[in-house]
Structure 1
């Protein structure tokens, strides 16, 4: 029994060795133990460690002429491309250009939109470039020249001639010139106009003058508040204009006295030409403020409510009218402020206190003073001394 077990164990150990010898006989270069991973190298599979060749062409031998510098390439011939003919010189216009010209006859090229804002359908609007040029160049440059020019003129005039004094000196006797209603309304218009002017000038010049000084954040906040003040105070300004129109319309109608005042030289005349309650220059300022204020107000309200306008071009024209009239009013009011304060002695008292010196009224508004004196004499004359209505 023991001999049989030993024979069986000998057969089991001898079988693998025989199989290994048969395998080596069939593959002499194969390793004794096969790995599950692919071999790398020239004798095995996988990718080699050397660089991948760029070409299958055989490399040149040492000393071959092709290993030297390659021969220079011939220059590429260049020919000048002729410029195309100008658009206006083209004898024939294709269908696309013709359609574009037809569409631009209305000023814009529009598409179709389904939202309430029909302006969103505008694709091309060439007039916008003209408006942008006016807004960024013409308005800023011309406005700066007008405003700074007026300041320079007033400064030179003040240094040259100084304030206009009362020639006869103060009489010490005063005469009422403006009522309380007139003065309150005047200061309401003046105060609202100053805020409107400053906030409007900030919109026009603030990005160039103020923003570099206070910074973009502060400038944005200031401009936002200024725009709100600009819109709300416009109602006080317009209301004051309507009151002025009712109070001073009759006194600002042109008369022959105004023509004589202008022929005498107006504010530059020697002496004091006769004038009524308002001279010709004051009447001109009155009508300029009325007309310019109304135009500025209407155009401004159209900009505040752009839905009232049917297209963008109308909004651009509203801005042009608003900006031009605002600049003209600012320049004119600068002259009015100078003459009414430090430019003429006794003039500021009229709006500050409602009364002026007698000699001031006699020199600057002699016709009006005579009318006031005649009315005072009639009011204090006895009843029997007054002329009858039919006399």
Structure 2
């Protein structure tokens, strides 16, 4: 009896404990259900709180209404939304091309540009070491001939001076933090860079004016002709001390430099204009449309204004480095590389022997013209 009583009491206690546990779990379940309903009311009301994670729905509405992959892919690729502020560019939540622009500019562009500049300097140094300075074979005479008049020299030096400053300030933007900053310190580098920015922006217009001037003055002298073929086949006599191919006012090498300067300079000017006046031009979008219709390409169109700026920045840097390499070679030949060459843009008067060796056809034209006019062909050198 005693054991049976104990067993009966134990069973009752066990039943009571189970009932209490069930009651507790029921209370917890009800509480959680009420909390879930409350959270659902605070979120979007279009989707039930207990929505299934299938069919692209997000559990609990904690991340929005849908997780549609196409929707998020569009956002990642720069799809525009709607904003109430004046700056409509803010409607683009993610501008993926910005990441690509930064990677290209600070990666392959900066690397290959430095290689190109270094390669040009090394090639000229090797050429000077092997060939030496190109001398006037017959020596200087006692007579000179006018090579360029004052207005021609003004146009040249306007273009040259502005371009050198533009090149230096532009290279500082790309490489200054690695080269100049460790040498002069952060404060001085900041001041130099800020001042260089203003120089770069305003001297760009001087460069454009100089570009127009030299084009108008010299384009007729730089049109290709048959004499250029012989000059190119003989490499202008640069590798032979006794070879002087005939040339007019500008030889084939100078014509190449002229057209490279004009065409690349024009491209630099247009892209620079886009950077000076942002969001006002659509050069690349328009160019892509023409190429797609003419050549059947599939270039992206239309472009956003931000994409236009990014492409203009990259193109401006690429073309600038290309022209810097060309001008480095031009400066070399016009100074230490060739005796008597600098006089052409210095005083405008060149030695007659130098002129006959490098521009014999031009000398003949000048002498014939002066003879017909009854003037002396040359004047005593001062």
TM-score category (smaller protein): 0.7 to 0.9
Alignment counterpart, residue 370 of structure 1, candidates 341, 364, 370: 364
SS in 2 for 1:343: coil
Question: Could you give the per-residue CA deviations for residues 99-144 of structure 1, whole angstroms, max 9, x where no partner exists?
Answer: 234556xx52222122332222221222222211111111211111
Quote how far apart the aligned CAs of 1:264 are: 2.0
Matched residue, 2:30: none
Quote how far apart the aligned CAs of 1:306 are: 1.1
Q: Give the Cα separation in 1 of the matches to 2:370 and 2:105.
A: 55
Quote how far apart the aligned CAs of 1:308 are: 0.8
Q: Give the Cα separation in 1 of the matches to 2:224 and 2:280.
A: 37
Shift in alpha-carbon separation, 1:124–1:157, aligned structure 2, 3 A: same
Structure 2's unaligned 5+ residue stretches are 1-53, 57-66, 282-303, 376-382
Matched residue, 2:259: 287
Shift in alpha-carbon separation, 1:245–1:254, aligned structure 2, 3 A: same
Segment of structure 1 superposing worse, 122-131 or 272-281: 122-131
Shift in alpha-carbon separation, 1:236–1:93, aligned structure 2, 3 A: farther
Aligned residues of 2:148 and 2:348 also touching (Cα < 8 A):
yes
Quote how far apart the aligned CAs of 1:98 are: 2.1
Quote how far apart the aligned CAs of 1:274 are: 0.9
Matched residue, 1:331: 325
Q: Give the Cα separation in 1 of the matches to 2:147 and 2:325.
A: 26
Structure 1's unaligned 5+ residue stretches are 1-91, 382-391
Q: Give the Cα separation in 2 of the matches to 1:323 and 1:133.
A: 14
Matched residue, 1:184: 154
SS in 1 for 2:68: helix
Alignment counterpart, residue 355 of structure 1, candidates 349, 359, 370: 349
SS in 1 for 2:93: strand
Q: Give the Cα separation in 2 of the matches to 1:116 and 1:376.
A: 68
Q: Give the Cα separation in 2 of the matches to 1:123 and 1:347.
A: 58
Q: Give the Cα separation in 2 of the matches to 1:124 and 1:103.
A: 6
Matched residue, 1:268: 238
Alignment counterpart, residue 211 of structure 1, candidates 181, 201, 210: 181
Quote how far apart the aligned CAs of 1:211 are: 0.8
Shift in alpha-carbon separation, 1:222–1:374, aligned structure 2, 3 A: same
Quote how far apart the aligned CAs of 1:176 are: 0.4
SS in 2 for 1:174: strand
Q: 2:46 matched to 1:115?
A: no
Matched residue, 1:87: none
Question: Could you give the per-residue CA deviations for residues 317-346 of structure 1, whole angstroms, max 9, x where no partner exists?
Answer: 101110011000111100000000010010
Q: Give the Cα separation in 1 of the matches to 2:207 and 2:279.
A: 23
Matched residue, 1:35: none
Quote how far apart the aligned CAs of 1:201 are: 0.3
Q: How many residues align?
A: 288
Matched residue, 1:387: none
Alignment counterpart, residue 166 of structure 2, candidates 193, 196, 203: 196
Quote how far apart the aligned CAs of 1:269 are: 4.9
Aligned residues of 2:134 and 2:238 also touching (Cα < 8 A):
no
Question: Could you give the per-residue CA deviations for residues 365-384 of structure 1, whole angstroms, max 9, x where no partner exists?
Answer: 01111111111111118xxx
Please say which structure displays the higher CA radius of gyration. 1
TM-score (norm 2): 0.72
Quote how far apart the aligned CAs of 1:257 are: 0.6
Matched residue, 2:194: 224
Alignment counterpart, residue 124 of structure 1, candidates 94, 97, 115: 94
Aligned residues of 2:279 and 2:306 also touching (Cα < 8 A):
no
SS in 1 for 2:145: strand
Alignment counterpart, residue 345 of structure 1, candidates 339, 346, 351: 339
SS in 2 for 1:342: coil
Alignment counterpart, residue 300 of structure 1, candidates 272, 285, 299: 272
Aligned residues of 2:221 and 2:250 also touching (Cα < 8 A):
yes
Q: Give the Cα separation in 2 of the matches to 1:192 and 1:93.
A: 63
Alignment counterpart, residue 138 of structure 2, candidates 165, 168, 172: 168
Shift in alpha-carbon separation, 1:144–1:93, aligned structure 2, 3 A: farther
Quote how far apart the aligned CAs of 1:307 are: 2.6
SS in 1 for 2:336: helix
TM-score (norm 1): 0.71
